[in-house]
Structure 1
């Protein structure tokens, strides 16, 4: 059994671990916008899409982290590249400017809404301003980004495009002390289905639901969860994060990034409004 540090720290992004797809639309003149691209799943998704030859416009408030993502892609000499645009997803004007900047890089065909936040508190103690911020970043911003991107997708040469949204097992069932996150993840699934309903089959959407992934968002909440539940950090890893799963290890960010590669590809033509639930059996099995 690996030690706890190995179990929660993400491995370095490796081109050999990327899902490569033969798809004519995965080309340098087509652009994928990826939010939360400075770290975690966002960085891994940007990496995987660039490895498949797309031009990626990665965005985040963390400019240093964005630079690190672009540098990792450049160091690996991938077929695609990452351009970075720092933006605050709570600001509608910055969202519009982000999409305009992406359109300057090529044809906007793909949008991966990955950026996420977390706050752990019971409902009675949950700060309203934190609740609002989580909704702004994880529901309102994906809506505004889709609103800005859809016209570009419809106006592209073949009129196609795809929006992928990072949901969660917490968009299927909830755990205590994470009310804002739970509500946001149910909301992003509703947005996904709304885009599909209005996409006329040409512009698709899908969501991705995983259990716990080796990202800073997860590792940073371990001490808070331990304190809230009155248990040890080890017990959080064993009982909370892996306890319901049939898997013995958390997913890596790149494994999640590969789900976006598949979802955007021609092989997912009938994935429209649906959710890729890849959670190690967390939600649909029991002992």
Structure 2
């Protein structure tokens, strides 16, 4: 989405042409990818993109209707792979156990994309602890527990090749005001990613994906909340607050982020291990 005089605060519609499709020996229906947060936004785009690459995808999300829509999109795209939605509360260990087992039942579980997320904006001194606990449960504890349960299945494949990818952020590289729980979780994801890589024997990789602001339904809500909090327009939030520091004056789309997961899971990412795909338009490396 480019910022123009005709400001339109809507998440873009996913299209088949948006998706990166690669030839890869592991990209076929016998290979399973587990994607959390698959009912909308980046998680949905990643689930559909992996299905477009021929994988069998198990999508986990608390939103059952959203999962059904993700499955329908993959079908509408005539994806060679499939998306199977499993209603999952990531704060419930039994639900996580069940969705990992469901993924393993579909074939060779090799890939996990921990994408599910949420946001709450308040300074540290005013941050509600119930929101902190929920956010870190979903965005840090759940990825750890999901990895813990998935790793034995990946190691049990014929060659132990696979990868666990974690959704990070520019906020995993630096801090801004009033997002302390999100920043804490994203910094923690860096440690989890490196721990997976350290134990993966070179065949099971861990990597993360960090991007700037992505126009998802979650982000639309955050823009509206920020505009109200600061007493400025939604367009000013995007142009000045969100894109002001970036050199690339355009918000990313969910499909562009999904393509990074596709690349990272593929053989092209074989040396991406314990590291971060930082696709941030210059947020963290430049300033005026």
TM-score range, shorter chain: over 0.9
**What CA distance in whole angstroms lies between the structure 2 residues aligned with 1:98 and 1:205?**
20
Could you state the TM-score of these two structures normalised by the residue count of structure 2? 0.97
Could you state the TM-score of these two structures normalised by the residue count of structure 1? 0.97
**What CA distance in whole angstroms lies between the structure 2 residues aligned with 1:176 and 1:228?**
13
**What CA distance in whole angstroms lies between the structure 1 residues aligned with 2:52 and 2:126?**
44
Displacement after TM superposition at 1:216 (Å): 1.1
| 2:45 is equivalent to residue 44 of structure 1 | yes
**What CA distance in whole angstroms lies between the structure 2 residues aligned with 1:22 and 1:61?**
32
| 2:184 is equivalent to residue 176 of structure 1 | no
Mapped contact 2:11–2:220 kept (Cα < 8 A): no
Question: What count of residue pairs does the alignment treat as equivalent?
Answer: 285
Mapped contact 1:121–1:228 kept (Cα < 8 A): no
**What CA distance in whole angstroms lies between the structure 2 residues aligned with 1:12 and 1:2?**
21
**What CA distance in whole angstroms lies between the structure 2 residues aligned with 1:123 and 1:263?**
34
After the TM superposition, which segments of 4 or more aligned residues of structure 1 sit over 4 Å from their partners?
Answer: none
Mapped contact 2:123–2:178 kept (Cα < 8 A): yes
- Secondary structure at the aligned position of 1:98 is classed as helix
Counterparts of 1:135-174 in structure 2 under 5 Å?
A: 135-174=136-175
**What CA distance in whole angstroms lies between the structure 2 residues aligned with 1:2 and 1:84?**
39
Structure 2 residues not aligned, in runs of 5+: none
| 2:124 is equivalent to residue 127 of structure 1 | no
- Secondary structure at the aligned position of 2:112 is classed as strand
Displacement after TM superposition at 1:240 (Å): 1.1
| 2:281 is equivalent to residue 280 of structure 1 | yes
**What CA distance in whole angstroms lies between the structure 1 residues aligned with 2:22 and 2:213?**
26
**What CA distance in whole angstroms lies between the structure 2 residues aligned with 1:84 and 1:18?**
20
Q: Which residue of 2 is the match for residue 196 of structure 1?
A: 197
Displacement after TM superposition at 1:9 (Å): 2.3
- Secondary structure at the aligned position of 1:130 is classed as helix
Q: Which residue of 2 is the match for residue 31 of structure 1?
A: 32
Mapped contact 2:110–2:162 kept (Cα < 8 A): yes
Displacement after TM superposition at 1:103 (Å): 1.0
| 2:18 is equivalent to residue 12 of structure 1 | no
**What CA distance in whole angstroms lies between the structure 2 residues aligned with 1:3 and 1:145?**
42
Displacement after TM superposition at 1:2 (Å): 5.8
Counterpart selection for 1:3 from 1, 6, 10? 6
Q: Which residue of 2 is the match for residue 257 of structure 1?
A: 258
Displacement after TM superposition at 1:174 (Å): 1.2
Mapped contact 1:89–1:141 kept (Cα < 8 A): yes
**What CA distance in whole angstroms lies between the structure 2 residues aligned with 1:2 and 1:101?**
47
CA deviations on 1:61-102 (whole Å, 9 max, x unpaired) are 000000000001011111111011000000011100111111
- Secondary structure at the aligned position of 1:84 is classed as strand
CA deviations on 1:231-250 (whole Å, 9 max, x unpaired) are 33222111111111111210
- Secondary structure at the aligned position of 1:4 is classed as coil
- Secondary structure at the aligned position of 2:208 is classed as strand
